[in-house]
Amino acid sequence: MPDPRRLGDAETCILLVYTLPETAMERGYEPWLRSTDNPFFNAIPGVHHYANWKLAPAPEGLGWSHFDFMALRHENELERVWFNPGLDAFRSGWIAKWGYATAKPTPVVAHGYVMRRVRTSGAAQHPIGRISGGAGTLPEADLAWRVERVLHKHYALGKVARWTRPVAEGNPLGLDWIGFDYGEGALRDAPLAARAEQIAAP
């Protein structure tokens, strides 16, 4: 029976990247993701697939150690999902409970990245993977997306005139595309190339 929440079936996906303080793991961050965070996001109307991942390990100097894929049922659900009535309160609670690894979120962490799917292989989902990212030609990956827009996270919305902008106007992620391969294997030769482990998924 096909999985109704396959990440590769969605045309639009938001990439969320972040860091955590060193104490988060010992305070139960990963069990909390599985019991609370992941079910909450997957229940938001318009969300097709939401999954939590961590880099294992994070490349030195990257600026983030964890990431989430938030795939939408339809492209036109973006505003509805991003401004879901319960999402702002949930995010405020997340920050209060867990915080960031730095006193002030860096630009790459303070934004989300809207990506359009340009390649999917139909490969089976797996809790181990390899994430890559770069500029120019997209790879022959199980999944590949083009980064198209930048989203301001909720705590920054009051400081800007627009909640979203095209990457041509500034892209803190610094990557034009994101690729993802399921399972073990060699890392891709790309500016971003890291192993990833899934923490929670629908």
* Whole-prediction pTM: 0.94
Rounded Cα gap, residues 57 and 160, in angstroms: 34
Report the CATH number that the domain containing residue 119 is assigned in CATH.
3.30.70.100
**How many Å separate Cα 156 from the centre of its chain?**
18
Buried b (16+ CB within 10 A) or exposed e, 99-125: ebbeeebbebbbbbbbbebebbeebeb
The answer to whether residue 47 is domain-embedded is: yes
The answer to whether residue 85 is domain-embedded is: yes
The answer to whether residue 1 is domain-embedded is: no
**pLDDT tens per residue across span 123-146:** 889 999 999 999 999 989 999 999
Q: Which domain holds residue 114?
A: 7-200
Q: Are residues 126 and 142 in contact, defined by beta-carbon separation less than 8 angstroms?
A: no
**pLDDT tens per residue across span 23-76:** 999 999 999 999 999 999 999 999 999 999 999 999 999 999 999 999 999 999
